[in-house]
Structure 1
Amino acid sequence: MPEGDTIYWAARALQRTIGGKVVTGFETGLAKLARVDDDSPLVGRVVEKVESRGKWLLIYFSGDLILVTHMLMSGSWHLYRVGEKWKMGRSRMRVVIRTEDWEAVAFNVPIAEFYTARSLERSSQVPKLGPDILSDEFTVEGGVARLTAYGRENPNAEIGVVLLNQRVMAGLGNVYKSEVAFAAGVNPFRAMRTITEREMERMVDFAQRYMKANVAEGTGAGIVTTSGNRQTTHAMNREERLWVYRRQGQECRRCGVAVMMRKQGVQVRSTYWCPECQPMR
């Protein structure tokens, strides 16, 4: 399930391999992208930079053209040496960006659009993102300010839903939502009006700490576009890497009480928590 850390890894890997390189080939299975390529061919353009913004990945080409993709639940970017066999079938291919040495392939990507710098500013989604937790400019104070402001306007919103709101803070997904709330000792179903400033500080701090730890150099092998298995505990055993996510009915790693799960929000996302460590106040 792609979250902000997965997109960060993908952007970093793409930047290292195709960043600064000339595009020698472009393919797509999406008609709207093909039309742009027909009118303004990508071949010959330079990949100026690749960056992540929350769960969005942006590839900037010379000549003021930006490819914006979102993975949703099933999309992924892969990197292959030219001529190397793909790990997924061609029917799942949505975009191929080829340079002299590399092929960047987007599989099962549900959202892919070309923009100019100006049209991207007018986009209804990307420019309205909250601060990216993985950006160098992100601070705990800034994250708390965003939560506070949102809570003031939406006092009855559940904190578990708010943590997933990309317009408040960008990057957190369903795994980190449950893990961050647990680490901070906050019940994810509590209303924003009940959340204290100290609890907000703890959640934002854990969010930044966990996500940065999972994209740190050395947490993957070679040039990869996925961070693999996330980890929020300090356990060496990969089966014990998370506190509560997907551990419904199992013993809490802190108190021994059974972890619970309930669907939450209009998107009906699974939320995991410990009723003892995260009491409803």
Structure 2
Amino acid sequence: MPEGHSVHRIARQIERNFVGKTVTASSPQGRFHEGAAILDGLTVREAKAVGKQMFVEFDDQTWLRVHLGLYGAWDFAGEILMDATIASANGRMGQTNQRGTDVEASIFDDAGENSLASIGAPRNTRVNVRMSEQTKGLGDESLQWPPPIVGTVRLRLLTDDVCADLRGPTACEVQTPEEVAAVIAKLGPDPLVGDTTVGEERFVAGVKRRNVAIGQLLMDQSIVSGIGNVYRAEMLFRAALNPHTPGKDVREDTLRAMWRDWVQLLSTGVETGQMMTMDDLDPEAYRRAMAHRDDRHWVYHRAGLPCRECGTEIVLEEMQARKLYWCPRCQA
């Protein structure tokens, strides 16, 4: 499932390429026909993410809510203006949590992913860019405009020069401002939305009043927004915290440190497009980590392998039907 950093990146792409433009909206798949008819001919006013949910405002106080769920993704095509809010002017991107390192943006991983370039310096390119859990450049497959419909597209937003296709979301619906406010009110704090100090207090209070395992609470979007399976495992390891510890028993200073860690990790994820959770890598180690997913995490996807810190075999178990990776020694 796409985690918070991906949804923030998608919202920024919508913001940069659609705000102020009138869209042609359609539902080639047919499942969102009525909603698309409402959006058709309206102008985009705003796009924002809160946790794993994205909200796009149109004219007449009409909102689109999208939750990608497990399989949803956006494909962007056309003369895409890439987001530059976190890129340097010369096209190179520094690392938020890497000291003294400046890494070139042209890094492809072993799955063909170039997430640094996908959110780099501003440039007009005729490209297709897939935005979901991993941001994948699909290449310049065709100059046909509008681009052909590929697969089951729930919603297509089209302007004269940019196209966004939504596939496989869990939720895609038109809402009123009141309905949007009600959804957001049920979500836990997001480090990139509102005051981080207020968010920290909400997070700590929400965890401390629950007699539920911290490994479950981190995935509860009413407690904290945006954390998924990867960030959960990595944050628990970085905090040296047993995932089965009841929330009410976790030390307050540990919870505050975890919130601040989430602030950093989410910002880094939005910047790089990768869930980079290892700190203080030298330039070569960082390049390897960006190129190979197995080299950028402490415990995630490392079941049966030795812990990078103590050598103990990493454990894999199920928690709420999701895979949980942790070190039984470092997180005892």
Distance 1:84 1:51 in 2: 30
**Does residue 131 of the first structure (1) align with residue 186 of the second (2)?**
no
What does the per-residue CA deviation read over 1:249-272, in whole Å, with 9 as the maximum and x for residues that have no partner? 11111111111111013xx11111
Q: 1:255 aligns with which of 303, 307, 310?
A: 310
Q: Which residue of 1 aligns with 2:99?
A: none
Q: Which amino acid aligns with 1:269?
A: R
Distance 2:147 2:224 in 1: 33
Q: 1:74 aligns with which of 57, 61, 71?
A: 71
| Gap regions ≥5 residues in structure 2 | 80-141
Distance 2:296 2:149 in 1: 31
TM-score normalized with structure 2 length = 0.72
What does the per-residue CA deviation read over 1:39-78, in whole Å, with 9 as the maximum and x for residues that have no partner? x4x3331110111011001111111211101011111112
Q: Closer, same or farther in 2 for the Cα pair 1:32/1:185, shift >3 Å?
A: same
Q: Secondary structure at the match of 2:60?
A: coil
**Does residue 96 of the first structure (1) align with residue 156 of the second (2)?**
yes
Deviation, structure 1 residue 87: 10
Q: Secondary structure at the match of 2:323?
A: strand
Distance 2:7 2:331 in 1: 30
**Does residue 27 of the first structure (1) align with residue 26 of the second (2)?**
yes
Distance 1:258 1:89 in 2: 47
Do 2:188 and 2:203's aligned partners in 1 also have CA atoms closer than 8 Å? no
Q: 2:330 aligns with which of 273, 277, 280?
A: 277
What does the per-residue CA deviation read over 1:128-172, in whole Å, with 9 as the maximum and x for residues that have no partner? 111112225223x632x33443344322x0001101111111111
Q: Secondary structure at the match of 1:214?
A: helix
Deviation, structure 1 residue 110: 2.4
Q: Closer, same or farther in 2 for the Cα pair 1:201/1:153, shift >3 Å?
A: closer
TM-score normalized with structure 1 length = 0.85
Distance 2:60 2:46 in 1: 13
Do 1:33 and 1:114's aligned partners in 2 also have CA atoms closer than 8 Å? no
Q: Closer, same or farther in 2 for the Cα pair 1:147/1:59, shift >3 Å?
A: closer
Q: Which residue of 2 aligns with 1:222?
A: none
Q: Closer, same or farther in 2 for the Cα pair 1:240/1:87, shift >3 Å?
A: farther
Q: Closer, same or farther in 2 for the Cα pair 1:18/1:197, shift >3 Å?
A: same
Q: Closer, same or farther in 2 for the Cα pair 1:87/1:190, shift >3 Å?
A: farther
Q: 1:108 aligns with which of 168, 174, 177?
A: 168
Q: How many residues align?
A: 259
Q: Which residue of 1 aligns with 2:276?
A: 231
**Does residue 142 of the first structure (1) align with residue 199 of the second (2)?**
yes
**Does residue 241 of the first structure (1) align with residue 296 of the second (2)?**
yes
Distance 2:199 2:63 in 1: 28
Distance 1:110 1:129 in 2: 17
| Gap regions ≥5 residues in structure 1 | 220-226
Q: Percent of aligned pairs with the same residue?
A: 28
Q: Which residue of 1 aligns with 2:210?
A: 154
Any runs of at least 4 consecutive aligned residues in structure 1 with deviations exceeding 3 A, and if so which?
29-33, 82-89
What does the per-residue CA deviation read over 1:169-215, in whole Å, with 9 as the maximum and x for residues that have no partner? 11111110110010011011111232101111221121111111121
Q: 2:225 aligns with which of 160, 170, 174?
A: 170
Alpha-carbon RMSD: 2.2
Greater displacement, 5-14 / 185-194:
185-194
- Once the two structures are superposed, the pairs formed by residues 47-62 of structure 1 within 5 Å of their partners are 47-62=44-59
Q: 1:199 aligns with which of 254, 264, 269?
A: 254
Q: Secondary structure at the match of 1:91?
A: coil
Q: Closer, same or farther in 2 for the Cα pair 1:175/1:87, shift >3 Å?
A: farther
Do 1:179 and 1:245's aligned partners in 2 also have CA atoms closer than 8 Å? yes
Q: Closer, same or farther in 2 for the Cα pair 1:88/1:256, shift >3 Å?
A: farther
Greater displacement, 170-179 / 127-136:
127-136
Distance 2:179 2:29 in 1: 20
Distance 1:71 1:160 in 2: 22
**Does residue 17 of the first structure (1) align with residue 47 of the second (2)?**
no
Do 2:67 and 2:169's aligned partners in 1 also have CA atoms closer than 8 Å? yes
